A and B are shown apart, each in its own frame.
Chain A
Amino acid sequence: MTHIAVPKTYKLFIGGAFPRSESGRVYEVTTPRGVFLANAAQASRKDARDAVVAARAAVGGWAGATAYNRGQVLYRVAEVLEGRRTQFEDEIVRQEGVSVSAARAQVDEAIDRWVWYAGWADKFAQVAGNANPVAGPYFNLSVPEPTGVVAIVAPQDSSLLGLVSAVAPALVPGNAVVVVASERHPLSAITLAEVFATSDLPKGVVNVLTGSPAEIAPWLASHADVNALDLVGASGLEWIDLEIAAAETLKRVLPPEEGPDAAAPALARIQALTETKTVWHTKAML
């Protein structure tokens, strides 16, 4: 007896829902050899706009959650990711044309990296923050806070690990994310969105757009309600123009990275998407 497969419709992930692109466009996702895999949604500037609105609405709650809670939610993502690992392995094999063991290794690393970042949620502030010994009767403390809405151009050569490496550090301090997935390998991004949707991540905290980074990124770079732009996967784009566009509202910009160390796990990636807030308070006995 044969089973006729029921293929998945790969849609966008915005505000916790899975809409099609408002433009109605899709594009073909194929194996490296050109075999059709799926039609992915081709996000438009309006989808990007909606994603930013969703992210802005979500950032207050996510940033305001306790660090312990964010850590728990992020760890929950890793749990659900682990449970769906065969689906990710399968998609990686088909999209990237790599061996099953290579795909398995990528999923292993993605899960471990996610867990590593999850664990930072209630610790990084202790490392990045300071009690400042100022010369006067003041309690003075510097603490890192999330920058706000972070737009990310995900690494383009990796389906899952690159995406995880860019998204996780942005979430740790409480940012909300709009990520443009790998154009060639978008399927893992949407499957990861399903993981987000079934974890306890509040809606809108991560929004996933598939399609052409070259088309979408300029709208995110110039969007006045985006606070930071992570160009880690943008080396193939006119990324200097994106940085120039981002300068209009003084966005924090992270440059493209290439090679095996691209978006390597680092505390610096978390800190790059934070603001240091310093609070002075008077101290008086009398």
Chain B
Amino acid sequence: MTFLDYAPAPESTALLNLQPEYGLFIAGEFSPAGGESFTTISPATEKPIARIAHADAGDVDRAVAAARKAYDKTWSRLSGRDRGKYLFRIARLVQERARELAVAESLDNGKPIKESRDVDIPLVAAWFFYYAGWADKLDHAGLGANPRALGVAAQVIPWNFPLLMLAWKIAPALAAGNTVVLKPAETTPLTALLFAEIVQQADLPAGVVNIVTGAGETGRALVNHPDVNKVAFTGSTAVGREIARSTAGSGKKVTLELGGKAANIVFDDAPIDQAIEGIVNGIFFNQGHVCCAGSRLLVQESIHDDVVARLKVRLETLRVGDPLDKNTDVGAINSAEQLARIRELSDIGEAEGAERWSPACSLPDQGFWFAPTIFTNVSTSHRIAREEIFGPVLSVLSFRTPAEAVAKANNTPYGLSAGIWSDKGSRILAVADKLRAGVIWANTFNRFDPASPFGGYKESGYGREGGRHGLAAYLRGAK
């Protein structure tokens, strides 16, 4: 044995109390759905976890009606102070059940337990705490005095941060006085359903939060429902585009948080060890299933070889495997479909002439796995430098001058995030000014906070989540 083959340190699943079957959460109750139910599996083992209800158009209608009724009869009549107290309750309940939620998240999503435990779930609680305090301070949201809620919010979230995306959606919506119908992703419904139990424990008025599970058509029915006033979507640019089309002229206020192909720019004066960590965190955090992932590494030519060499050494220490092992750094790919997409684009990268490298790591036989991968000799015209792979795949490009770095970084239809690594403050600020992206991390990467607005430029979507801006997305001025 070598010390680095750390003995297994599995997180116990004993604290989970899952139901074999989950209904839709509408008007405060779980109820059966019209559609054929489906199974949610663990992507690490392909073993079934639970049967999940599939909401059809009628169910969506029922959920929107429940949300409308709750909005008209209770939630819009409640004071901000009281709404806030419900949100504080939810925040506390999330903290109380944090470990259980983390285990469920890792089980259903495939992400390492250390990430669900140390990042996702703490941020979920933080998000509810942050927005709870806003509920009775809406006059300061930037829309003048007495801003009004929009009404019923339709919210569709992705599978990469299931419960965290739920929190990003529900916390500001409720604080602003809206009621919601939320659809979790097809492959990761579990924690949203546990959240429904938390909503019950918090004694939130029935219908304020409704959760409808299902697939693409469920989301479509929800977004296009005529009695919805607000649409908030996080997911692919393709679906975002479809939503922008289908809601055109509807008067629905729309927030879209879509794809990205973030540049992570490393200058020759970068704090090199931290930059290496930032590169690793930027693309391998959450298996690269991150819309703001630093998937394009732009390295100054003079340090390119050194950075790549250091990066390779570092990747050898990444531990890929059981998401529930506390020492796992990279977990399972969320679905067979996503795995196929990552494989396809990586193969294309190779075919286009980029040089592919992965550390030696043995992958489990069952489940969906993809070894951390870096591509060098990548050109800006390669598909792996332009398309969002949404997996643990890094494309390395180089630049010679700051101006070239900025030009290459901006040369994409996306504009969600970017990273800058340098010891020179004035250059960081100037480059940050010129980057066309909504979130810029300087000498850090993939940091999130409820107080910090998040969202993109260009085809990465519009609207912001987080902070005062994220609250304003659920309000309109009094006029």
Q: Which residues of A contact B438 (CB under 8 A)?
A: 275-278
Q: Which residues of A contact B464 (CB under 8 A)?
A: 276
Enumerate A69-122 residues with CB–CB distance to B below 8 Å.
none
Greatest chain B CB density within 10 A among A134, A148, A247, A280 is at A280
Cα-based distance from A255 to B458 in the complex (angstroms) = 18
User: B20-28, B243-251, B333-341: which one contacts chain A?
Assistant: B243-251
Given A138-B447, A140-B452, A275-B457: A243 in contact with B468 (beta carbons within 8 A): no
Is B444's CB within 8 Å of the partner chain A?
Answer: yes
Task: Determine which of B251, B440, B462 lies in contact with A252 in the assembled complex, contact meaning CB atoms within 8 Å.
Answer: B462
We find that the number of chain B residues with CB closer than 8 angstroms to chain A is: 45
Whether B248 and A249, one on each chain, are in contact in the complex, defined by CB atoms closer than 8 angstroms, is no
Of chain B, the residue at the smallest CB distance from A133 is B451
Cα-based distance from A280 to B453 in the complex (angstroms) = 11
Task: Determine which of B245, B432, B455 lies in contact with A276 in the assembled complex, contact meaning CB atoms within 8 Å.
Answer: B455
Task: Determine which of A127, A253, A278 lies in contact with B453 in the assembled complex, contact meaning CB atoms within 8 Å.
Answer: A278
Whether B245 and A127, one on each chain, are in contact in the complex, defined by CB atoms closer than 8 angstroms, is no
Question: Chain B's nearest CB lies how many Å from the CB of A147?
Answer: 8
Q: Which residues of B contact A240 (CB under 8 A)?
A: 248-249
Of chain B, the residue at the smallest CB distance from A137 is B444
Is B413's CB within 8 Å of the partner chain A?
Answer: yes
Is B459's CB within 8 Å of the partner chain A?
Answer: yes
Enumerate A255-286 residues with CB–CB distance to B below 8 Å.
255, 268, 275-282
Cα-based distance from A266 to B461 in the complex (angstroms) = 24
Given A132-B467, A240-B249: A282 in contact with B453 (beta carbons within 8 A): no
Q: Which residues of A contact B444 (CB under 8 A)?
A: 138, 280-282
Enumerate B424-457 residues with CB–CB distance to A below 8 Å.
428-429, 432, 436-444, 447, 449, 451-455, 457
Question: Chain B's nearest CB lies how many Å from the CB of A141?
Answer: 9
Task: Determine which of A227, A253, A280 lies in contact with B440 in the assembled complex, contact meaning CB atoms within 8 Å.
Answer: A280
Is B314's CB within 8 Å of the partner chain A?
Answer: no
Q: Which residues of A contact B428 (CB under 8 A)?
A: 281
Task: Determine which of B126, B240, B241, B452 lies in contact with A142 in the assembled complex, contact meaning CB atoms within 8 Å.
Answer: B452
Is A244's CB within 8 Å of the partner chain B?
Answer: yes
Cα-based distance from A240 to B252 in the complex (angstroms) = 13
Greatest chain B CB density within 10 A among A134, A135, A255, A277 is at A277
Q: Which residues of B contact A130 (CB under 8 A)?
A: 453, 467-469
Whether B452 and A280, one on each chain, are in contact in the complex, defined by CB atoms closer than 8 angstroms, is yes
Question: Chain A's nearest CB lies how many Å from the CB of B456?
Answer: 8
Whether A250 and B442, one on each chain, are in contact in the complex, defined by CB atoms closer than 8 angstroms, is no
Whether A227 and B245, one on each chain, are in contact in the complex, defined by CB atoms closer than 8 angstroms, is no
Question: Chain A's nearest CB lies how many Å from the CB of B294?
Answer: 13
Cα-based distance from A94 to B441 in the complex (angstroms) = 56
Task: Determine which of B126, B432, B459 lies in contact with A250 in the assembled complex, contact meaning CB atoms within 8 Å.
Answer: B459
Greatest chain A CB density within 10 A among B413, B415, B458, B464 is at B458
B interface with A by C-beta (< 8 Å): 126, 142-143, 237, 240-241, 244-245, 248-249, 251, 256, 258, 413, 415, 428-429, 432, 436-444, 447, 449, 451-455, 457-462, 464, 467-469, 477
A interface with B by C-beta (< 8 Å): 127-128, 130, 132-136, 138, 140, 142, 147-148, 227, 239-240, 243-244, 246-250, 252-253, 255, 268, 275-282
The 4 closest A-B pairs by CB, nearest first: A240-B249, A247-B244, A243-B248, A134-B449
6 A-B pairs with CB atoms under 8 Å apart are A132-B453, A240-B249, A247-B244, A247-B245, A250-B460, A277-B437
